[in-house]
Amino acid sequence: MRVAIDTQPGGAAPNEDWVAGTPTLAVVLDGLSTAGLDTGCRHGVPWYVRNLGSQLVATLADSETSLTTGLARALEGVAVLHPECDLGNPGTPSATVAILRQREGQLDHLVLADSPIVLEGHQGYSVITDLRVDQILPELKAEVARHETHTAGHKEALRNLVFAQRETRNATSGYWVAAAGPEAAEHALTGSVPTDDVRAAALLSDGAACLVTDYAMSTWPEVFATLRAGGPRGLIDTVRKVEATDPRGQRWPRYKSGDDASVAFCQYG
């Protein structure tokens, strides 16, 4: 498996995404926005995704360890690194997770929350994603979308949304992300496909996938053509060019003018 990776912050703030690739493993993490609210943790989201990613690469180096078990162990490992923080805070640093691993003729995948894995097969494209968060608090999301980005109204609406989402995060009636407890791993979407059935695969944070999923300015075949021609940076640059035509979020209402964007592009054969 040949893996090319890239990540780019959406603005001046530190990048809250994390991406890694090895000859058998690709990982993309997308840290959740805190909207300036208290998290109970002195380290911050970039620290969290960096350490969770490192733990994942270590736990999944053993091909006998399932992706679910590896994620649970990684979550436990990060929690051990900052016991002085309030890990019970509903806003404790958290992230989406996308993992793809090649093992004995199979590609194992795990997705937790809305960072998709897209498989390019010989007959078309398959998108593996977890959209449970989209069903949560639609009225508050609509209020965010009503405001242009960088306005006081948008900032306040986003804070209200994030505050309310915390009450439904990692709860049976809500949605699941990687946070402080290992139990989130059991709620991930997992599966396997034969490696021979896949030509290439892309793991994307939503800041990169939005070119297709939110903006509808590209298709998955076009995304893979861009990845082959310009690699992950070429795809991220395309996203930025599209966003630059709508800096205030009028055409495409969104949480930020530009979100952190990460891509791992995997090719086989």
pLDDT of residue 269 exceeding 80: no
Q: What is the pLDDT of residue 173?
A: 85
Strand runs labelled E in the chain: 2-8, 17-21, 25-31, 95-103, 106-112, 117-121, 125-128, 189-194, 198-204, 261-267
Q: What is the pLDDT of residue 134?
A: 87
Can you tell me the distance from the alpha carbon of 225 to that of 229, in angstroms, rounded to the nearest whole number? 6
Split at pLDDT 50, 70, 90, the class of 202 is very high
pLDDT of residue 218 exceeding 80: yes
Split at pLDDT 50, 70, 90, the class of 172 is confident
The angle formed by the CA atoms of residues 14, 60 and 40, to the nearest 5 degrees, is 40
pLDDT of residue 156 exceeding 80: yes
Q: What is the pLDDT of residue 115?
A: 97
Q: Rounded mean pLDDT of 165-189?
A: 95
Domain total of the chain? 1
SS3 for 58?
helix
Identify the sign of the CA torsion 41, 45, 49, 51. Answer: negative
Contact 27, 98 (CB under 8 A): yes
pLDDT of residue 144 exceeding 80: yes
Residue percentage of the chain with pLDDT more than 90: 96
Tokens of residue 166, six digits: 């915390």
Q: Rounded mean pLDDT of 40-44?
A: 97
The angle formed by the CA atoms of residues 104, 195 and 216, to the nearest 5 degrees, is 140
Full domain range(s) for residue 81: 2-267
Q: Rounded mean pLDDT of 166-170?
A: 93
Split at pLDDT 50, 70, 90, the class of 88 is very high
Output the domain CATH number for residue 237: 3.60.40.10
Contact 269, 24 (CB under 8 A): no
- Mean pLDDT of the residues in the chain: 96
pLDDT of residue 86 exceeding 80: yes
Split at pLDDT 50, 70, 90, the class of 135 is confident
Q: Rounded mean pLDDT of 164-178?
A: 93
What is the 3 state secondary structure string of 118-140? EEEECCCEEEECCCHHHHCCHHH
The alpha carbons of the chain give a radius of gyration, in whole angstroms, of 18
Residue percentage of the chain with pLDDT more than 70: 100
